[in-house]
Chains A and B, each alone.
Chain A
Amino acid sequence: MTEQEKQPTFTDLRDLLAHAYAIEVDAIDRYNLLADQMEVANSDELAALFRKLASHEEHHAREILERAGDMELPQLKLSEQKWTDAESPEAAAMEDAHYLMTPWHALQMALKAEQRAFDFFDRIVNTTTDNDVRKWAEEFREEEAEHVRLVEDLLKRYPAPDPDWDHDDDPPVILE
Chain B
Amino acid sequence: MNIVSPPLKASDYKSTLKPVWCPGCGDYHVLLSLTKALAELGLPMEDVAVISGIGCSSRIPAYLNCYGFHGVHGRALPLATGLKVARPDLTVLVAGGDGDGFSIGGNHFLHACRRNIDITYIVMDNRVYGMTKGQPSPTTEPDWDSALSPGGTGLSPFHPLVIALASGANFVARAFSGVPNRTAEILVEAIRHPGFSFVQILSPCVTFRPDEREWKSMTHPAPVEPTSDPAQAARRIMTDDGFNVGILYRGDRKAYAPHVAANRSDITQLETAFSV
Chain B residues near A30 (CB-CB < 8 A):
32
A75 close to B (CB within 8 Å) = yes
- CB distance A1 to B178 under 8 Å? yes
A151 within 8 A of B: no
Find out whether the CB atom of B221 lies under 8 angstroms from the CB atom of A173.
Answer: no
Please measure, in the bound complex, the distance between the C-alpha atom of A101 and the C-alpha atom of B24, giving whole angstroms: 10
A29–B134 alpha-carbon span in the complex (Å): 30
For chain A residues 28-44, which have a beta carbon within 8 Å of chain B? 29-30, 33-34, 36-41
The residue from B134, B181, B217 contacting A173, defined by CB atoms under 8 A apart? B134
When A1-B179, A1-B216, A1-B221 are in contact, do A98 and B23 touch as well, CB less than 8 Å?
yes
Q: In this assembly, does B11 line the interface, its C-beta being within 8 Å of a C-beta of chain A?
A: yes
**Is A66's CB within 8 Å of the partner chain B?**
yes
Across the interface, which residues of B come within 8 angstroms of A66, CB to CB? 1
Considering the chains assembled together, what is the distance between the CA atoms of A29 and B148 in angstroms? 37
Find chain A residues with CB under 8 A from B196 CB. Answer: none
Residue of A nearest to B220 (CB): A2
Known: A1-B178, A72-B2, A78-B40. A95 touches B18 (CB 8 A): no
Chain B: how many interface residues by the 8 Å CB criterion? 50
| Residue pair A70, B28 in contact (C-beta under 8 Å) | no
> Does B71 lie at the interface of the complex (its beta carbon under 8 Å from any beta carbon of A)?
no
Bound complex: CA of A71 vs CA of B3, how far in Å?
A: 8
Residues of B within 8 A of A38 (CB): 23
- Report if A84 contacts B (CB, 8 A): no
Q: Write out the residue numbers on chain B whose beta carbons fall within 8 Å of the beta carbon of A21.
A: 3
Encode B5-19 as 1/0 by CB contact (under 8 A) with A: 110011100000011
Q: Is B112 an interface residue (CB 8 A)?
A: no
Assess whether A174 is in contact with B32, with CB atoms less than 8 Å apart.
no
29 pairs, CB–CB < 8 Å, chain A vs chain B: A1-B178, A1-B219, A1-B221, A1-B245, A21-B3, A29-B11, A33-B32, A36-B19, A37-B19, A37-B25, A37-B28, A38-B23, A40-B20, A70-B1, A72-B4, A73-B3, A78-B184, A78-B188, A86-B181, A87-B181, A95-B177, A95-B206, A98-B206, A99-B22, A172-B207, A172-B208, A174-B133, A175-B147, A176-B147
